[in-house]
């Protein structure tokens, strides 16, 4: 018989840990620190692991950041939230997200729009990702997004935009409208 080839485990290029004792070139306490660590216009894939925690950050991943994989410790444990509109903007291409929650925390009684993510870029993949918002939860632009086993929660007009999106075994939840929408 032929001996089985050895498989080298892939180490992450950057780890986000809100409880990290030390931070540096490979470890940070915020998602923003990971965004800063990603090389510009890289052809090589950059891997980021995000430990469980609630990350209150308004984030923008520019188009110059591409070929990035973000893996969360667990979908319900990694919550990226903010009251900015949108809470998260993604302009890079060839971005992969897995096991995360994007949450817009605007007060729906005060703010009409509640965008959890504005996904531009192209050929981006979302697997086991949850999107929580009110109106306009998920906005897409750019081209060719793929969503697998995702959840999208909202109340009105909460999935929109000009991007081409393929939803594969995703759940869409129409939540109860608030007082403002009556």
Per-residue pLDDT of the chain (182 residues; tens, 9 = 90+): 777 766 555 689 999 999 988 888 899 999 999 999 999 999 999 999 999 999 999 999 999 999 999 999 999 999 999 988 899 999 999 999 999 999 999 877 666 678 899 999 999 999 999 999 888 889 999 889 999 999 999 888 888 888 899 999 999 998 887 644 43
* CA dist 139 → 38, 56, 160 (Å): 24, 20, 5
Q: Is residue 61 within 8 Å of 89, Cβ to Cβ?
A: yes
CB count, 10 Å around CB of 140? 22
Task: Give the pLDDT confidence score for residue 114 in this predicted structure.
Answer: 80
Q: What's the pLDDT score for residue 100?
A: 96
Q: How many CA atoms lie within 13 A of 39 on its CB side?
A: 9
């Amino acid at each position: 018989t032929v001996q089985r080839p050895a498989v080298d485990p892939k180490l992450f290029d950057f780890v986000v840990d809100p409880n990290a004792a030390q931070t540096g070139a490979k470890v940070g306490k915020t998602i923003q620190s990971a965004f800063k660590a990603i090389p510009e216009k890289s052809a090589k894939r950059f891997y980021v692991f995000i430990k469980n925690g609630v990350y209150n950050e308004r984030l923008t991943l520019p188009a110059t950041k591409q070929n990035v994989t973000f893996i969360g410790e667990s979908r319900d444990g990694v919550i990226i939230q903010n009251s900015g509109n949108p809470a998260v903007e993604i302009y890079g291409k060839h971005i992969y997200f897995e096991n995360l929650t994007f949450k817009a925390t605007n007060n729906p009684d005060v703010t009409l729009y509640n965008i959890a993510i504005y996904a531009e870029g192209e050929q981006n993949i979302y697997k086991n990702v949850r999107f929580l918002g009110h109106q306009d939860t998920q906005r897409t632009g750019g081209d060719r997004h793929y969503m697998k086993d995702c959840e999208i929660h909202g109340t009105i007009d909460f999935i929109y935009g000009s991007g081409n999106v393929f939803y594969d075994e995703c759940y869409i939840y129409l939540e109860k409208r608030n007082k403002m929408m009556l």
